[in-house]
């Protein structure tokens, strides 16, 4: 980075920015067409910090994209001076695309639109040294971080049953989100046992992270903030570079992110005049407090940033009047909020349908009944979404959908990138990129089994600790022929073989081999793939497919990189991309959504909209969640979550609950959700009610203050939980192909396929080849299985040509 260049460039921007031509004027004015007065004000606002309080469906993204386009069209900013921060990669891509559509793709590409995390990784990679890292640093996800923390806790003789890595990790995460360093913590902590453990584990955990040349999610923000505050010259560089900072979903920022924003804008920090800051948010949609987000940031915006102005958007362009009334009623019960009422110029629309069923299976069946009706009235499956509070609830829904043959798509849950085989493969890649990555290396050291067991691992660890080496360096020593106490010659040979293989592949990677090639080499030469293919376990068959899918993701990534001309650090970039994907990134866009019902948690649904929305599990204990019912602030967050769920619906909203729900195989009586009590009676039509026999007494025992629509409140204890015996459910749609068969399939010479061929797949059935990517052993077929698109590695997938 060259400061003088940037200053010179900056001066040039300034000049261009001063005088809009008439052509510019017309283009800029066109951007204001069709906006309401508040939206218009938000778009043209100039100067001081701006807070846009954007209610659900109030055209927030439109305002943000038009504001950026307006800045560009009036010449107030160059694309390269704009940094827009979102919470998901998908939102970032969407914003870039929409701005591109307004002002041209070339401009769109020159802006920095990214999530907090990817923007910070970018900054850290550019300044790894002052941040105390090496350029190849790894990013640990929660799983990796907990693994490392587990090692630390065990080394410190902590009872990890009582104090789990998960709970201690959550505490450390909170501290990092508050930018509290280990030494600061020690001087302020309490004396309870947990605090003691945290105080001891936190510094050691950080030390081991740095030793492994790795950062966790929270470090990404915290280290960036620390680096910027310790290096004013670097901070100044970014302040000069980015003159317009826009932050979406500001209500979800935590303290560290807030401080980061201040650094980027540069409030009085140095000679540079502060950049223009725009934040957009809705405190009623703050649903990430558990992750450290604080509404404070949005509530105190005007105090934090002098001369700030606030614009409130309340007109809703998404939902019907009934849906908005329900949403307003639910959220209005939260105290201490800045009053805000959504309104719509369109009519009240259909009533909200409220159904109560006997069990979660009945509830699922009921949803399907409605879905089929909607579909026969002409709705596309893709216009329909089903939401639930927790991922575990998706199961009953999925089973019923499979039976009914309705195509569906589940977003989130056990994520692709969290699956064992994917994590293993990525750990191999990580070990190639960063030879000091202890967690990655230890994960794959004996996977597949190669005779390096606990004893050997412990011996190597001890050796590393004694000489202050990283785990990788100790493996290196073994490979060089050094003998280590407690390491058998057999194990040593195995270690040397393993490490030599990695080194060899690393050489290939460094001399420019593609990501896909490196990945393929790793899973083949390590024996990982062979092991899975030999297995009789049908689960392993789908693992092989998942690896094939990962390979095709890598292939796609390689192509993308080649096209963009970036050839350096491709492997690291791939790992980075993969580490920072979120559930929400997997949500298909409007066009790809067609043809399948979408299932997801309410959290994942934030920011989306569907014509038809089902919110399920409206029971006290499910939604609001049991663990949030005691604490007032947590209950308030549940209420905001309900508000988010309701406001996703455009045309019609279906709410349902089950009178009994089974958790851990045990059926339990559930009372109606308190949120149902708040929904105005006139907006609702009561559909099904639970069958009488389920209950000791009749329905209508609602404690509701105003409406009494909490129909059929099942009083716990008043029923025999054995009553609703859902039939034993078999997992349907399990892979029809066993591991053995698959092994054969892949042993055969690769199938010759071309677009238009009909094929039969062991799991997905018959489909049509729509395209072939790549060639030779990496050839991937794009196959359409009756609306579901799949990418399959021809060499490995259980495919037959018809």
Which segments are annotated as binding site for ATP? 54-61
Nearest to 700 by CA among 680, 722, 677, 684: 677
Rounded to the nearest whole angstrom, what is the least distance from the CB of residue 257 to DNA in the complex?
9
Rounded to the nearest whole angstrom, what is the least distance from the CB of residue 664 to DNA in the complex?
4
Nearest to 709 by CA among 690, 684, 691: 684
Task: Please say whether the dihedral angle defined by the alpha carbons of residues 750, 752, 753 and 759, taken in this order, is positive or negative.
Answer: negative
Between 458 and 744, name the residue whose CB sits nearer to DNA.
458
Is residue 391 a contact residue for DNA (CB under 7 A)? yes
Question: Using N-to-C axis directions, what is the helix angle for 538-564 and 570-579, rounded to 10°?
Answer: 120
- Distance of alpha carbon 617 from the chain centroid: 23
Q: Which of 249, 398, 540, 619 is catalytic?
A: 249
Single out the residue of 135, 390, 500, 789 in contact with DNA (rule: CB under 7 A).
390
Residue 722 annotated as catalytic? no
Q: Which of 90, 639, 648, 688 is catalytic?
A: 648
Single out the residue of 310, 488, 707, 721 in contact with DNA (rule: CB under 7 A).
488
Sheet holding 352-357, edge to edge: 408-410, 597-601, 384-388, 610-615, 649-658, 352-357, 684-686
Show Cβ contacts of residue 477 under 8 Å, excluding neighbours closer than 6 positions.
463, 469, 484
Task: Please list, residue by residue across 462-498, b when 16 or more beta carbons sit within 10 angstroms of its beta carbon and e when fewer do.
Answer: ebbeeeebbbbebbbbbbeeeebeebeeebbebbbeb
> Is 697 buried (19+), middle (13-18) or exposed (0-12) by CB count in 10 A?
exposed
Stretch that binds DNA, among 285-293, 294-302, 671-679, 793-801 (CB under 7 A): 285-293
Query: What distances in angstroms separate CA 537 from CA 47, 141, 534, 736, one per listed residue?
Result: 64, 28, 9, 12
Q: Which of 61, 691, 768, 770 is catalytic?
A: 61
Rounded to the nearest whole angstrom, what is the least distance from the CB of residue 286 to DNA in the complex?
11
Question: Using N-to-C axis directions, what is the helix angle for 3-18 and 232-241, rounded to 10°?
Answer: 30
Is residue 665 a contact residue for DNA (CB under 7 A)? yes
Between 142 and 199, name the residue whose CB sits nearer to DNA.
142
Is residue 645 a contact residue for DNA (CB under 7 A)? no
Nearest to 792 by CA among 546, 554, 558, 556: 546
Between 134 and 455, name the residue whose CB sits nearer to DNA.
455
Between 70 and 498, name the residue whose CB sits nearer to DNA.
498
Stretch that binds DNA, among 1-9, 283-291, 337-345, 369-377 (CB under 7 A): 283-291
Rounded to the nearest whole angstrom, what is the least distance from the CB of residue 605 to DNA in the complex?
9
**For the window 162-201, what string marks contact with DNA as x by the rule CB under 7 A?**
--x-x------x----------------------------
Nearest to 740 by CA among 486, 533, 551: 533
Binding site members: 54-61
Stretch that binds DNA, among 187-195, 271-279, 657-665, 768-776 (CB under 7 A): 657-665
Rounded to the nearest whole angstrom, what is the least distance from the CB of residue 160 to DNA in the complex?
7
Single out the residue of 573, 582, 629, 751 in contact with DNA (rule: CB under 7 A).
582
Residue 249 annotated as catalytic? yes
133-137 long-range contacts, CB within 8 A, separation 24+: 133/210, 133/213, 133/215, 133/223, 134/213, 134/434, 135/569, 136/213, 136/433, 136/434, 136/572, 137/213, 137/214, 137/215, 137/434
Is residue 311 a contact residue for DNA (CB under 7 A)? no
Q: What CA–CA distance (Å, rounded) separates 753 from 777?
A: 13
Rounded to the nearest whole angstrom, what is the least distance from the CB of residue 453 to DNA in the complex?
3
- Distance of alpha carbon 475 from the chain centroid: 35
**For the window 724-763, what string marks contact with DNA as x by the rule CB under 7 A?**
----x-----------------------------------
Nearest to 658 by CA among 694, 629, 630: 694
Q: What CA–CA distance (Å, rounded) separates 106 from 520?
A: 35
Is residue 453 a contact residue for DNA (CB under 7 A)? yes
Between 71 and 168, name the residue whose CB sits nearer to DNA.
168
With residue 119 as reference, give the H or E element that holds it: helix 116-126
Residue 60 annotated as catalytic? yes
Between 173 and 778, name the residue whose CB sits nearer to DNA.
173
**In the range 552-581, which residues lie near DNA by CB under 7 A?**
580
Between 157 and 454, name the residue whose CB sits nearer to DNA.
454
Single out the residue of 392, 632, 732, 802 in contact with DNA (rule: CB under 7 A).
392
Single out the residue of 44, 93, 142, 406 in contact with DNA (rule: CB under 7 A).
142
Single out the residue of 26, 30, 663, 802 in contact with DNA (rule: CB under 7 A).
663
Query: What distances in angstroms separate CA 188 from CA 164, 180, 700, 737, one per listed residue?
Result: 23, 10, 52, 59
Q: Which two tokens stand for residue 668?
A: 């339990």
Stretch that binds DNA, among 319-327, 429-437, 624-632, 790-798 (CB under 7 A): 624-632
How do strand 758-761 and strand 765-773 relate by DSSP bridges?
antiparallel
Q: Which of 60, 67, 171, 442 is catalytic?
A: 60
Total interface residues for DNA by CB under 7 A: 50
**In the range 429-448, which residues lie near DNA by CB under 7 A?**
446
Q: What CA–CA distance (Å, rounded) separates 119 from 506?
A: 27
Stretch that binds DNA, among 127-135, 364-372, 449-457, 496-504 (CB under 7 A): 449-457
Rounded to the nearest whole angstrom, what is the least distance from the CB of residue 63 to DNA in the complex?
22
Between 487 and 781, name the residue whose CB sits nearer to DNA.
487
Q: Which of 141, 248, 362, 619 is catalytic?
A: 248
Single out the residue of 273, 420, 732, 802 in contact with DNA (rule: CB under 7 A).
420
**For the window 595-614, what string marks contact with DNA as x by the rule CB under 7 A?**
------x-xx----------
Judged by DSSP in three states, 568 sits in coil
Rounded to the nearest whole angstrom, what is the least distance from the CB of residue 665 to DNA in the complex?
3
Omega cis (within 30) before 624: yes
Task: Please list, residue by residue across 189-226, b when 16 or more beta carbons sit within 10 angstroms of its beta carbon and e when fewer do.
Answer: beeeeeeebbbbbbebbbebbbbbbbbbbbbbbbbbbb
Residue 285 annotated as catalytic? yes
Single out the residue of 129, 192, 454, 754 in contact with DNA (rule: CB under 7 A).
454
Single out the residue of 133, 168, 491, 518 in contact with DNA (rule: CB under 7 A).
491
Between 390 and 775, name the residue whose CB sits nearer to DNA.
390
Is residue 691 a contact residue for DNA (CB under 7 A)? no
Q: Which two tokens stand for residue 86?
A: 């979102």
Which conformational region is residue 755 in: left (phi greater than 0), alpha (psi within -120 to 50 degrees), or beta?
A: beta
Between 140 and 711, name the residue whose CB sits nearer to DNA.
140
How do strand 758-761 and strand 799-801 relate by DSSP bridges?
antiparallel
Rounded to the nearest whole angstrom, what is the least distance from the CB of residue 600 to DNA in the complex?
7
Q: Could you write out the DSSP letters of every residue in 479-490?
A: HTT---TT--HH
Q: Could you write out the DSSP letters of every residue in 626-644?
A: GGGSSSHHHHHHHHHHHHH
Nearest to 533 by CA among 258, 739, 243: 739
Single out the residue of 627, 692, 715, 801 in contact with DNA (rule: CB under 7 A).
627
Judged by DSSP in three states, 332 sits in coil
Stretch that binds DNA, among 23-31, 185-193, 296-304, 622-630 (CB under 7 A): 622-630
Q: What CA–CA distance (Å, rounded) separates 375 from 238?
A: 52
Query: What distances in angstroms separate CA 591 from CA 96, 322, 595, 767, 790, one per listed residue?
Result: 17, 27, 10, 21, 17
**In the range 212-271, which residues lie near DNA by CB under 7 A?**
217-218
Q: Which two tokens stand for residue 33?
A: 């067409």
Is residue 583 a contact residue for DNA (CB under 7 A)? yes
Residue 156 annotated as catalytic? no
Give the active site residues: 60-61, 248-249, 285, 648
* Residues of the shown chain interacting with DNA in the complex, contacts defined by CB under 7 A: 87-88, 115-117, 141-142, 161, 164, 166, 173, 217-218, 287-288, 290-291, 389-392, 412, 420, 446, 449-456, 488, 491, 580, 582-585, 601, 603-604, 625, 627-628, 634, 663-665, 728
């Amino acid at each position: 980075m060259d400061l003088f260049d940037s200053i010179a460039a900056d001066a040039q921007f300034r000049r261009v920015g001063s005088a809009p031509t008439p052509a510019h004027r017309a283009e800029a004015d066109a951007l204001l067409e069709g906006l309401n007065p508040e939206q218009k004000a938000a778009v043209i606002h100039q100067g001081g910090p701006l807070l846009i309080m954007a209610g659900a469906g109030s055209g927030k993204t439109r305002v943000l994209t038009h504001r950026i386009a307006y800045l560009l069209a009036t010449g107030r900013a160059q694309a390269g001076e704009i940094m827009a921060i979102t919470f998901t990669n998908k939102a970032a891509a969407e914003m870039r695309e929409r701005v591109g559509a307004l002002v041209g793709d070339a401009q769109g590409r020159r802006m920095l639109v990214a999530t907090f995390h990817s923007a910070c990784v970018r900054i850290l990679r550019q300044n790894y040294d002052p941040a105390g890292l090496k350029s190849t640093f790894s990013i640990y996800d929660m799983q990796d971080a907990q693994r490392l923390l587990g090692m630390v806790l065990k080394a410190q003789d902590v009872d990890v049953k009582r104090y789990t890595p998960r709970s201690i990790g959550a505490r450390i995460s909170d501290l990092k989100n508050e930018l509290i360093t280990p030494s600061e913590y020690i001087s302020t902590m309490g004396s309870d046992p947990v605090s003691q453990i945290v105080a001891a584990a936190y510094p050691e955990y950080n030390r081991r992270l740095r030793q492994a040349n790795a950062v966790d999610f929270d470090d990404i923000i915290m280290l960036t903030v620390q680096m910027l505050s310790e290096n004013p010259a670097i901070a100044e560089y970014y302040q000069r570079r980015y003159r317009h900072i826009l932050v979406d979903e500001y209500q979800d920022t935590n303290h560290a992110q807030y401080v980061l924003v201040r650094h980027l804008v540069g409030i009085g920090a140095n000679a540079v005049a502060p950049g223009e800051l725009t934040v957009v948010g809705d405190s009623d949609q703050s649903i990430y407090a558990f992750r450290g987000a604080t509404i404070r940031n949005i509530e105190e915006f005007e105090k934090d940033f002098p001369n700030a102005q606030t614009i409130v958007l309340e007109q809703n362009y998404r939902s019907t009047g009934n849906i908005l009334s329900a949403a307003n009623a639910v959220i209005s019960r939260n105290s201490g909020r800045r009053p805000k009422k959504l309104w719509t110029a369109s009519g009240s629309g259909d009533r909200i349908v409220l159904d109560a069923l006997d069990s979660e299976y009945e509830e699922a069946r009921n949803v399907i009944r409605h879905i089929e009706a909607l579909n026969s009235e002409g709705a596309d499956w893709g216009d329909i979404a089903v939401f639930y509070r927790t991922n575990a609830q998706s199961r009953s829904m999925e089973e019923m959908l499979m039976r009914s043959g309705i195509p569906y798509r589940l977003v989130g849950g056990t994520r692709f990138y969290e699956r064992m085989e994917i994590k293993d493969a990525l750990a191999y890649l990580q070990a190639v990129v960063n030879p000091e990555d202890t967690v990655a290396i230890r994960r794959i050291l004996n996977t597949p089994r190669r005779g390096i067991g606990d004893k050997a691992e412990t011996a190597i660890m001890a050796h590393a600790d004694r000489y202050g080496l990283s785990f990788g360096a100790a493996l290196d020593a073994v490979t060089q022929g050094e003998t280590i106490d407690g390491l058998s010659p057999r194990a040593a040979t195995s270690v040397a073989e393993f490490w030599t293989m990695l080194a060899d592949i690393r050489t290939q990677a460094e001399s420019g081999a593609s990501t896909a090639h490196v990945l393929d080499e790793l899973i083949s030469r390590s024996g990982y793939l062979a092991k899975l293919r030999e297995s009789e376990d049908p689960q392993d068959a789908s693992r092989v497919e998942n690896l094939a899918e990962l390979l095709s993701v890598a292939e796609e990534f390689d192509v993308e990189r080649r096209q963009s001309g970036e050839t350096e650090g491709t492997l690291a970039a791939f790992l980075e991309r993969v580490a920072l994907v979120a559930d929400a990134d997997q949500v298909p866009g409007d066009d790809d959504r067609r043809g399948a019902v979408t299932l997801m948690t309410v959290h994942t649904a934030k920011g989306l909209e569907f014509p038809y929305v089902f919110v399920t599990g409206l029971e006290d204990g499910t939604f609001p969640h049991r663990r949030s019912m005691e604490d007032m602030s947590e209950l308030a967050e549940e209420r905001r979550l309900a508000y988010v769920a309701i406001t996703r619906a455009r045309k019609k909203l279906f709410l349902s609950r089950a009178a009994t729900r089974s958790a851990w195989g045990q059926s339990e009586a559930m009372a109606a959700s308190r949120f149902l009590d708040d929904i105005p009676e006139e907006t609702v039509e009561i559909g099904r009610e639970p069958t009488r026999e389920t209950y000791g007494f009749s329905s209508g025992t609602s404690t509701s203050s105003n409406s009494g629509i909490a129909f059929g409140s099942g009083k716990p204890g008043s029923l025999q939980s054995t009553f609703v015996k859902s039939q034993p459910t078999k997992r349907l749609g399990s892979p029809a192909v066993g591991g053995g068969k698959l092994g054969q399939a892949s042993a055969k010479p690769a199938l010759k396929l071309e677009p238009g061929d009909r094929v039969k797949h062991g799991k997905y059935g018959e489909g049509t080849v729509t395209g072939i990517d790549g060639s030779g052993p990496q050839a991937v077929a794009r196959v359409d299985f009756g609306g579901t698109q799949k990418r399959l590695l021809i060499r490995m997938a259980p495919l037959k040509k018809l």
